[in-house]
Amino acid sequence: MKFFKQFSQKAILAATFALSTSVMAEQALDLDSLLKTLEQGQVSQSQQNSAREAEFMAKQDQQIAMLNSLTQKRNGELARSERLETQFEENEIKLQNLTDTLSKRMGSLKELFGVLQQVAGDSSTKFQTSVVSAQIPGRSDFMDEMAKKMGSTSRLASIEDIEKVWYELQREMTEQGKVSRFNTEVIVSGGEKANKEVVRVGAFNLISDGKYLSFNPATNTLSELTRQPVSRFTETAAELQSTQSGVVDFALDPTGGSILGLLVQAPNTEEQVHQGGAVGYVILGVGMLALLIALERFISLFIMGAKINRQLKDTTAREDNPLGRVMKVKDQYPNVAYDTLELKLSEAILREMPKITRNLTLIKIISVVAPLLGLLGTVTGMINTFQAITLFGTGDPKLMAGGISQALVTTVLGLVVAIPTVFLYTLLNTRSRNLLLILQEQSAGIIAERSEKGA
C-alpha cells in the first residue's frame, strides 16, 4: 500500500510539473514564483490522494464480499454437477437393464419386426413409382411411417399396423391384374389441366383419349407424353379405351413407363436427317438430283424404245426415233459403196449415242461421290467429338453424342443415296446399251444388204 501511495504521489507530481512547465512557457516567472506554485500543487495532490485511498479502502470490503459470494455459488454448482453425473450413470445402468429385459421379452418378435421394417421400406419405394398410386394415392406415406416406427427401439407395431401392411401388399398385387377406369386431372399439351377418364392397365400403362400418359411420383400428377409412340401403339390404346369388354390387343410396358419414355425420346427419321448437318443436306440434295435425272432418263429411254420397236415393224424410216434416222442414211446415199455406207451409218449411230446415254455418267458420278460425302461428314463429326472431349472430358456422354450422331448419320445417308443410285445407273446403262445394240444390228443388216446388191 505504501508503495502504491508513493508511486501515485510521484505520478501526480510529474503531471503537475509538466502542467507547470507548460504554464511557465506562456508566462515569464521567476524562481520564487515557480517554487510557490509547486508547493500549492503538492498540497492539492495530497488532498486528492487521501480521498482516493479512502474510497479504495471502502470498496475493497465490497469486492471481498462479492468474491466470497461467487465462490460459494461455484461450490454449489460443482456439488450439483457431481450429483447429476452420478444420477446420469445410474440412469444409464437402468436403461441398459431395461433394454436387455426388452430384448429378452421380445425374443423372436424382434426378428419379425426387422423383417416388417424392411418390407415397409421396400414397399414404400415400390408404391411411389407404381402407376397404381395414380388411382390410389397416399399408400407410400403409411409405409414410410411404418418403417420409421419400426426403426425406433421404443415403438412397436400393433396387430392393426401389421394387418394394414399385409392389406396394402395384397391390394397392390390385386390391382396389377386389373384394367381399371377412373376420373382424375390430366395435364394436357400446353400445360393445362383437364378432368378426363383414365384407363389403367395393371401396373404397366396409363392411357386417356387414346394417348399414353406418364405418372410423376414426386407431384402425384398425370400428364400426356409430349411425343406419342407410333400409330400402331396409339391405335391399340384408343381401341382399349373404347372397348368395355372382350379381348383387345395392347402393347404393354413391363417397366411401368420407362421403356415407353425412352421410346418416345428416340429421334424419328426427320430428326436423324437433321442430325447430319450441312453435309447431310448436301447428300440428300445430290441424291434427289440423281433420282430426278434417273426418272427423266427412264421415261426418255422407255419412249425411245417404244418408238424403235415400232420402227422395227415398219419399213419406212421415220425421223421421230434414232433407228429411223439411222435407216434414213440408206435412202440418202443409195448409190455409194457398202464400205462408205458403213462409215455413214457409224457416223449416224455416233450422232444418236449422246441422246441415248445422256446424263448417265452424272448418275454414276453421284453414286461414287455420295459415299465420299458421307465419309466427309464422318470425319467432321469425329472432329467435333474430339473437340468436346478436349474441352469437357469424357464424363458426360451427351456432350459427345452430337458429333457421333453426325458422323454416323452422314455415313448412312451416303450409303442410302449411293446404293440405289448404282442400281439405277446399271439399269439405265443396260437399257441404253440395248438400244445402241439394236441400232448397230440394223446398221450391220443394211450394210450386208448393200454388199449383196453390189456383188
Residue 119 lies in a domain: yes
Question: What pLDDT sits at residue 172?
Answer: 86
What is the model's pTM?
Answer: 0.54
Clarify whether residues 291 and 412 are in a common domain: yes
**DSSP state letters, 169-206:** HHHHHHHTT-EEEEEEEEE-TTS-EEEEEEEEETTTEE
Instruction: Give the pairing of strands 211-216 and 205-208.
Output: antiparallel
Query: Residue 1 is which amino acid?
Result: M
Identify whether residues 345 and 242 lie together within a single domain: no
Can you give the pLDDT of all 455 residues of the chain as single tens digits?
Answer: 444 445 445 544 444 444 444 444 444 456 777 667 666 666 567 777 777 777 777 777 777 888 888 888 898 899 899 999 999 999 999 988 887 777 776 666 667 777 777 888 888 888 888 888 888 888 888 788 877 777 665 566 778 888 888 888 888 888 888 888 888 888 887 778 888 888 888 888 888 888 888 888 778 888 887 777 777 777 778 888 888 777 877 777 776 666 776 666 666 667 677 777 788 889 999 999 999 999 999 999 999 888 888 888 887 878 888 888 888 888 788 778 778 888 888 888 888 888 888 889 999 999 999 999 988 888 888 887 777 777 776 666 666 666 677 778 888 899 999 999 999 999 999 999 999 898 888 888 888 887 777 65
Contacts of 221 (CB under 8 A, 6+ apart): 185, 187, 215
| 69 and 10 belong to one structural domain | yes
Output the pLDDT for position 264.
64
Residue 36: name the closest of 48, 50, 24 by CA. Answer: 24
331 in the same domain as 290 = yes
Residue after which a domain boundary falls, among 176, 209, 225: 176
What pLDDT score does 1 carry?
Answer: 46
Same domain, 166 and 66: no
- List the one residue out of 341, 362, 345 whose CA is nearest residue 353: 345
Residue 98 inside a domain? The answer is no
Residues 242 and 210 in one domain: yes
pLDDT reported for residue 91:
92
C-alpha cell at 121: 421400406
Do 448 and 345 form a contact (C-beta atoms < 8 A)?
no
CB neighbourhood size of 234 (10 A): 16
What pLDDT does residue 314 have? 80
User: Does any domain span residue 90?
Assistant: no
Write down the pLDDT at residue 449.
Answer: 80
Number of domains forming the structure of the chain: 4
Domain boundary among 266, 286, 319: 266
Q: Judge residue 329's burial from the number of C-beta atoms within 10 Å of its C-beta, 0-12 exposed, 13-18 middle, 19 or more buried.
A: buried
What is the domain range of residue 144?
107-176
Together in a domain, 358 and 330 = yes
* C-beta of residue 187 within 8 angstroms of C-beta of residue 221: yes
CA separation for the pair 355, 345 (Å, rounded): 16
* DSSP run (H or E) holding 94: helix 31-106
Rounded to whole angstroms, how far apart are CA atoms 406 and 304? 43
Same-domain status, 261 and 297: no
Q: Is the domain of 287 the same as that of 380?
A: yes
> How many other C-beta atoms can be found within 10 angstroms of the C-beta atom of residue 81?
10
Q: Are 348 and 420 contained in the same domain?
A: yes
d(CA 411, CA 352): 39
352 and 282 inside one domain: yes
User: Do 247 and 293 share a structural domain?
Assistant: no
Cα separation of 244 and 210, whole Å? 14
Last residue of a domain, one of 266, 284, 299: 266
Q: Is the dihedral of CA 206, 212, 216, 219 positive or negative?
A: negative
In a domain, 99, yes or no: no
